Amino acid sequence: MPINLAILTIKKAHEGMLSGAFSAVDLATAYLEEIKKKDGDINAFREVFADVIEQAKKADEKFAKKEGVNPLLGIPFSIKDNILIQGRKAGASSKILEGYVAPYDATVIARLKEKGVVFIGRVNMDEFAMGGSTENSAYGPTKNPHDLGNVAGGSSGGSAASVAADFSLASLGSDTGGSIRQPAAFCEVVGLKPTYGSVSRHGLMAMGSSLDVIGPLTKTVEDAEIIFDAIKGEDKYDSTSFSPVKEISTISPKKIGIPKGLLDMGGIDPEVKANFKEMVLKLEKNGYQISEVDLPHLSYSLAAYYIIMPAEVSSNMSRFDGVKYGIKKEGGNLLEDYLNTRGEGLGKEVRRRIMLGTYVLSSGYYDAYYAKANRVRNVIREDFSKAFTLVDAILTPTAPSHSFKIGEKTSDPLAMYLEDIFTVTANLAGIPAISVPSNIQIMAPHHREDILFAIGKDIEKLR
């Protein structure tokens, strides 16, 4: 039977395969055909795996034997190019890692393999996850499936586009300052940034180690919840990971906070403001209590983030030197090897952030910049903790604008960085956040993804 990929969810796909209406092979084939038809224009995939049908056949065997049947069995996933899958290439969309093959599975991949998912391929991204439009990929930008003249967002642009274009039913991305949520908003899908540490980072190429989180991009909030439940939990390979909190209140979240002065901020698109106000009114009419909350240091979050993140980038990127893996450009001595390899292998944005990070960590500037930014981060965390004693969740737009034209902001890094203004706070505070269509972000206290799912499902019904 023909499969309508546009209306498919994980639950519907599972029911279809369980009932025999279609097989995992049928489902995988349908996605492969869409990729063949449309990805030449969109450029979501870095690589479509050659063994997709073989993976799907194994899922069908499990369905036939009724072994290991679960909601994710046979579900086609795309994977961001910075998450390792053993024996497959992983390049973070950078020339410096061209040809690199992952020697082990990321923990999230191992957990999805246990569920029997089908990995369709690896998808495009901003180089080493540094960017907000996927224009920093060394292999060309990913275009927005809804408007090919526009960006898909970043850095998980390939992940968001692959779901929006019906190339995969779900995707995994990474979020350091909004890299799951912003492309989700631009491509009109759901993007979840879990609580820091709730999902293992083992096997994710590190960008900002105190900020990075792996999370799902999906068609619906329920799909994001299913995937989060599958990948979350403590991991011996990641010392920052933890087991799920067992005792959680089951009270329905009904109190939503709006940051004081939020809509008076400059740089927010009028359409984004109007859309946000409309959703707030709908929530109020449906029983939610809406109130303003005071987050007095919110205005410092972007500045703090763009000190802390590059500092961690400069440290993490030092391993890419052409000695251990990836390309190597020879020079007259070891220093010239490093300079040639990194100069030719790394793009402009990555080099810019390495230089910024090296500067703020250098002697004489560490206390003035990096140490001060971390103090600001702690104050922002306290602001959120206080706010969450008054409300269950905080609502903002995900991004200050809708998807913009390709090339519109590439010559102005500051304009691009401002796209992160609403998203970076959740990473600084370590709290969970979700973006739901249309361009709405919900933030909740640590470990309370359940609140995000409850409110997110209500917003889906009200659209």
Whether 80 is a known active-site residue: answer: yes
CA torsion, points 226, 231, 234, 237, in degrees to nearest 10?
A: 180
Q: What's the CA gap between 346 and 366, in Å, rounded?
A: 25
Structure tokens at 318: 């030092």
φ and ψ at 247, to 5 degrees? Answer: -95, 100
Active-site position among 80, 115, 143, 193: 80
**CA-CA distance, 346 to 129, in Å (whole number)?**
12
Per the annotation, the verdict on 155 as an active-site residue is yes
Between the CA of residue 282 and those of 25, 319, 433, 451, what are the distances in Å? 42, 50, 20, 18
DSSP code at position 262: G
DSSP state of 399: S
d(Cα 154, Cα 156) in Å, to the nearest integer?
Answer: 5
47-51 long-range contacts (CB < 8 A, ≥24 apart) are: 47/88, 47/89, 47/121, 47/122, 48/120, 48/121, 49/88, 49/119, 49/120, 49/121, 49/122
**Annotated active-site residue in 156, 159, 179, 314:** 179
The residue from 93, 137, 155, 156 that is catalytic is: 155
User: Which DSSP string corresponds to 59-122?
Assistant: HHHHHHHT-S--TTTT-EEEEETTB--TTSB--TT-GGGTT-B-SS--HHHHHHHHHT-EEEEE
Distance CA 68, CA 246 (A): 25
Q: Which of 154, 97, 124, 155 is nearest to 342 (CA)?
A: 97
Catalytic annotation present for 179 = yes
3-class DSSP assignment, residue 139: coil
Please report how many Cα atoms fall inside a 13 Å half-sphere around the Cα of residue 101, on the Cβ side: 4
Other CB atoms closer than 10 Å to residue 248's CB: what's the count?
12
CA distances from 437 to 41, 190, 442 (A): 24, 7, 11
Q: What is the largest CA-CA distance in the chain?
A: 71
Catalytic residues: 80, 155, 179
